[in-house]
Chains A and B, each alone.
Chain A
């Protein structure tokens, strides 16, 4: 019952000093807003990183041929290394099928599959007026498992296809829709691939499900029908026309029970043997799991930095509340004296001022909360992640800002409570 009266008093006091109250709240508003913004951006970012990485697979180990002692390029972007160096790497510097076979043999308990790819180029599959945009990749049978390709019908590229360099292709359900429609069984059909004036013919052996998930940029910029999808052909067929026969990179997928750090070491050691005498080139190994760890540790470092700033701003805000409460107590000395003359006990006065401090901090906290949620939404949007809010965080912030009010309001309130009634009444 008494709380309600104090609440009314506190709100009245806030209302009569709006500007002052707002300025006092500013520290708390900024502090709470940044805490909420960090938490919601961090949450949504880390959840989107996790889902993205799960798609790639955390038990994938990417190996690349790169220049020795080169710090060129971002080690977390394997493509930068290849593009920068593959021009000068000769066939004998690259990873040979024999090396991979030996590797698979030596680590057969750990290795689930090895994926190899060779980009061929993009063009159109055409049948009279019907067409579909495709990007052609030469792949090995291991590609299916490593890259989570979902087969809808038929089969994937197999060892016989690669060994025999057969002109077979695995195409997307989108391509099938564009070229054949729904009524024709595409398996066994012949398709013509047009690229830079050349025409190549393939037999469809399998259809996979095209997923748009990660491809949000492409999906939004071109119409449904024009969307480019991948077409897979045997890697040996893709290599046929190229001068470089070996591989500059490969992706090794481990079984789930394999210790990532140990396996990374094993891979390094294994390939180091082959490159010991190579003056210029070596093989680097990157594990997705360790990349996720790096990304999230960076994220948490940034969060920590902002959290410290937020904490400082909350501290400053709290001191601001304390300051303004001290001013308020001094201004209202006569009022306090009068209240005491009318029978107020020390705890009545103390509660009145603590409530006031708490309300200032709470209102500041609520404004900060709204601001922080908006900032978080904006931030998540800019980073392309789905915004995420957690009710516990919100409740915690509200409680925390009230706690700031109580903590920093206690000293001024106690000072008010302890005033001598006569001194307070005589105060000019």
Chain B
């Protein structure tokens, strides 16, 4: 469960100018929700998601995952949260170019201290799940964009986190490939019961989720339930 209370993020670009990117954001996302975050460019979506993902710290306000306050954690504790509770999917995939699909998927387990054998087993299983079982020894530059993103999704799932955060996961893909990637998110949501938060500019993508949150100028403009299309 994600709980955010009066969250604020300011950037100081030389006094007296300060840029208020997130302004008093209050939000609660229950376990197993599938949420879309939409809004204009520069509205603060990524900033919000980075704080939720323990990559960034808020300027003020409170943030807790499963009741545990995250905003006051040390760097190492934040690393632990990122490694074990959260799975990231990036717009530009961010795979390790010198490692094959299997090694890429194993990486988060390495930092989490999972044994060698278990790493290989789980990585294969998840590559299987995203339909990449026949490409495990391919390097990223031998994969298409959609395939790369599927490997990245497998990687985000590998430490069995409760929350998956995806910042425009279909942004670099054509709509057909994007749909395929979204299908995988739906499958993961359904089969693995993960909380999934997706930032998107596409209404079509947003319509696939259960809840659509709109942000404007760092504030929540609307927060409405959605009935996903079949």
Contacts and interface: CB of A to CB of B under 8 A. Distances in A.
Nearest to A2: B110
Contacts of B56: 421-422
Nearest to A341: B88
B83 A343 contact: yes
Interface string B38-61: 000000000000100101100000
Contacts of B214: none
Nearest to B53: A341
B98 A13 contact: yes
Interface in A336-359: 337-346, 348
Contact of B82 (A5, A335, A342): A342
Given A12-B98, A346-B75, A425 B84 contact: no
B111 A343 contact: yes
A243 interface: no
A343 B50 contact: no
A174 to B, nearest CB: 71
Contacts of B55: 340-341, 421-422, 425
Interface string A8-41: 0100110010000000000000000000000000
Contact of B80 (A334, A341, A343, A421): A343
B76 A346 contact: yes
Nearest to A421: B55
A345 B79 contact: yes
A230 B187 CA distance: 101
Among A5, A338, A339, A344, residue most surrounded by chain B Cβ atoms (within 10 Å): A338
Contacts of B159: 343
Contact of A343 (B75, B79, B90, B94): B79
B138 to A, nearest CB: 16
Contact-size category for B? 20 to 34
Contacts of A5: 110
Interface in A311-364: 334-335, 337-346, 348
Nearest to B165: A341
A235 B16 CA distance: 108
B116 A348 contact: no
Interface string B69-92: 000000110011011100010100
Contacts of B111: 339, 342-345, 348
Interface in B122-164: 155, 159
B221 interface: no
B107 interface: yes
A87 interface: no
Contacts of B99: 12
B112 interface: yes
A350 to B, nearest CB: 12
A9 B90 CA distance: 23
Given A341-B53, A344-B79, A344-B111, 7 more contacts: A13-B98, A334-B94, A341-B94, A342-B82, A342-B88, A345-B76, A422-B50
Which 3 pairs from chain A and chain B are nearest by CB?
A343-B83, A343-B111, A338-B94
Interface of A: 1-2, 5, 9, 12-13, 16, 334-335, 337-346, 348, 421-422, 425
10 contacts: A2-B110, A12-B98, A338-B96, A341-B82, A341-B94, A342-B88, A343-B80, A344-B79, A422-B55, A425-B55
Interface of B: 50, 53, 55-56, 75-76, 79-80, 82-84, 88, 90, 94, 96, 98-99, 107-108, 110-112, 116, 155, 159
